């Protein structure tokens, strides 16, 4: 079975990092009681909002379904 990195062409990111970014869309933030924006996720994970957008766009089928 292929990993998320292989399945979605995200080889530049670790499997754990991809899972962490996807989890932000799977579960709303408990303190804010809403889903975080790309920019808010990027700040928390010390990456760019473009990286967050790339990962979430590529893996959208995982968290939409």
Residue range 31-57, pLDDT digits in tens: 999 999 999 999 999 999 999 999 999
Q: For residue 63, which of 13, 26, 14, 34 has the smallest C-alpha distance?
A: 26
pLDDT at 7: 81
Give yes or no for a contact between 37 and 48, defined as CB atoms under 8 angstroms apart. no
What is the token pair recorded at 36? Answer: 């975080």
The pLDDT mean for the chain works out to 90
Q: pTM score, two decimals?
A: 0.84
pLDDT at 60: 85
pLDDT at 65 over 60: no
Contacts of 9 (CB under 8 A, 6+ apart): 58
Residue range 20-34, pLDDT digits in tens: 999 998 899 999 999
Report the sign of the C-alpha dihedral through residues 58, 62, 63, 65, in that order. positive
Domain extents for the chain?
Answer: 16-64
């Amino acid at each position: 079975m292929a990993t998320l990195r292989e399945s979605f062409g995200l080889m530049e990111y670790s499997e754990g990092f991809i899972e962490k970014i996807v989890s932000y869309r799977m579960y709303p933030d408990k303190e804010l009681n809403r889903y975080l924006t790309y920019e808010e996720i990027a700040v928390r994970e010390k990456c760019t909002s473009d990286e967050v957008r790339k990962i979430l766009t590529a893996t959208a089928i995982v968290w939409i379904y």
